[in-house]
Amino acid sequence: MMDQSISVITVVKNGASCIEACLDSVGAQTLEAEHLLIDGCSTDATLQIAKSKRLTNLRIVSEPDNGIYDAMNKGIRLAEGDIIGILNSDDVYADNRVLERVKHALSNEADQACYGDLLYVSNQNLDNVRRYWRSGKFSTEKMRWGWMPPHPTFFVRRAVYDTYGLFNLSLGSAADYELMLRFLYKHCIPAQYIPEVLVKMRSGGVSNHSLRNRIKAHRMDYRAWEVNGLQPYPWTLLMKPLRKLPQFFHIPTSY
């Protein structure tokens, strides 16, 4: 097994209501990891909460940025780990052994990324499951049928970012989709599926807040293929939201 370190990047701005749970979920991991908190000059108690935790592996950077994906790129450049994951400030790891499973999944040097399943949970109660995103194994053909892994569960070797680039800031809310499309479909990096829930994600999302946002997101999803010189099926991007429907069924009663 390779000896490899993990960095977790969390981007935040005015996240005082949820940042403690996020920090605690990384700090409680049985596998020690570097945790970078990239703060966009919060004006609430976010920084005070983070500093009060006195976590030895937490690095805090607070300065202006050009949005969430610019901040993620900043974190990737600063990260020192061999493997990089991104955990949103209002998300938590499902249990304290998630990073252990990630390291095990990437113990073969040939594997360049891994991902798992994700639970959408209530904003107020992280044990109240609303949706269950069961990812399944990866194939390039599935991506042409609207498949993608949940980005908060996506861990990638630093070398992949070095070789194929960071988030494309021109893609708006589709920047994470474009990055995974570029890595997994265009460049065919080998990715391992971990068939377990890795992340609990609070319900919500900018791209789904209104029909206008959904239409804009659809256009950006198409751009994600276009900027990579790729041609989806005519139904690829229609299938992308439709594939979410099964997430509302077979929900575990507790987790």
Overall CATH class of domain 6-248: alpha beta
For the cut 80, the answer to whether the pLDDT of residue 91 exceeds it is yes
Q: Decide if 166 contacts 79 (C-beta within 8 A).
A: no
Give the separation between CA 107 and CA 203, rounded to whole angstroms: 32
Count Cβ atoms within 10 A of the Cβ of residue 183 and give its class: 0-12 exposed, 13-18 middle, 19 or more buried.
buried
- Amino acid 218: pLDDT: 79
Given a cut of 80, whether residue 58 has pLDDT beyond it is yes
Where residue 247 falls among pLDDT bands split at 50, 70, 90?
confident
CA 22 – CA 122 distance, rounded (Å)? 15
Distance CA 238, CA 203 (A): 22
* pLDDT, mean of residues 76-101: 97
Does residue 68 carry a pLDDT above 50? yes
Mean pLDDT of the chain, nearest integer: 92
* Whole-number percent of the chain with pLDDT over 70: 92
The average pLDDT across 67-82 equals 97
Q: What is the pLDDT of residue 32?
A: 95
Categorize the per-residue pLDDT at 231 as very low, low, confident or very high, splitting at 50, 70 and 90. Answer: very high
Average the pLDDT over 123-152 and give the result.
94
pTM: 0.92
Domain ranges of the chain: 6-248
Mean pLDDT, rounded, for 198-215:
69
- CA angle centred on 137, ends 130 and 156, rounded to 5°: 90
Sorted by sequence, the CB contacts under 8 Å of residue 46 that are 6+ apart come out as 12, 13, 14, 15, 16, 19, 39
Compute the distance between CA of residue 191 and CA of residue 8 in angstroms, rounded to an integer. Answer: 18
Q: Residue 20, exposed/middle/buried by CB under 10 A (0-12, 13-18, 19+)?
A: middle
Mean pLDDT value across residues 104-110: 95
- For residue 95, what pLDDT band results from cuts at 50, 70 and 90? very high
Taking residues 209-225, report their average pLDDT.
77
pLDDT, mean of residues 13-40: 97
**How much is the pLDDT for 207?**
43
pLDDT score at 253: 58
Q: Is the pLDDT of residue 212 over 70?
A: no
The residue whose two tokens read 């570097």 is 34
**pLDDT the model gives residue 248:** 80
